[in-house]
Structure 1
Amino acid sequence: MSKQSDRHVVPNPSGGWDVRAPGASRASAHTDTQAQARDRARQIAGNAGGGEVRIHRRDGRIRDSDTVAPGNDPNPPRDKR
């Protein structure tokens, strides 16, 4: 289930990287590098109250995902007690 605060970092066909909300036709942000797009996506998700950031490879497959607090992490770290 996707939320409005979730963001995807995807390659732009004209070069660079876009930050997009799921199902959006326009990008929330455009950057030159994937690292810049990842940081901007985390910032946008955090400002919206937390969510998931999914980073895609150039071929479109998901490379990594990150939960931005106070989002609901589907794989939280184990308690080491």
Structure 2
Amino acid sequence: MTTIETFHEDNIWKNRRQGDSVAFAVFDTKAEAVAAGREVAIREGAEHVIKNLDGRIAEKNSYGNDPRTIPG
């Protein structure tokens, strides 16, 4: 499954596909980056990982093939 990362680097919020070295989009605010990252993740059926300023994961959302096997 593809993963889209939203993260902060060099005073800019960025989106990239996990494993890529270059961001595919840059934004002034976290809100703009999260919204755009969500759109791409939904379109591609990917996981969206949103990180805080310190690089720690703040939120994860899965759009598409969720491998969860636990009922509920």
**Bigger relative CO (Cα 8 Å, ≥ 6 apart):** 2
**1:9 aligned residue:** 6
TM-score under structure 2 normalisation? Answer: 0.82
Ranges in structure 1 where 5+ consecutive residues have no aligned partner: none
**1:46 aligned residue:** 42
Alpha carbons of 1:77 and 1:54: their partners in 2 closer, same or farther (altered >3 Å)?
Answer: farther
**1:71 aligned residue:** 65
RMSD: 2.1
* 1:1-51 alpha-carbon deviations (Å, 9 max, x no partner): xx33x20101021x2200011111110111111111111111111222x11
SS in 1 for 2:5: strand
Higher Cα Rg, which structure: 1
Pick one of 15, 21, 26 that aligns with 1:19.
Answer: 15
TM-score under structure 1 normalisation? Answer: 0.74
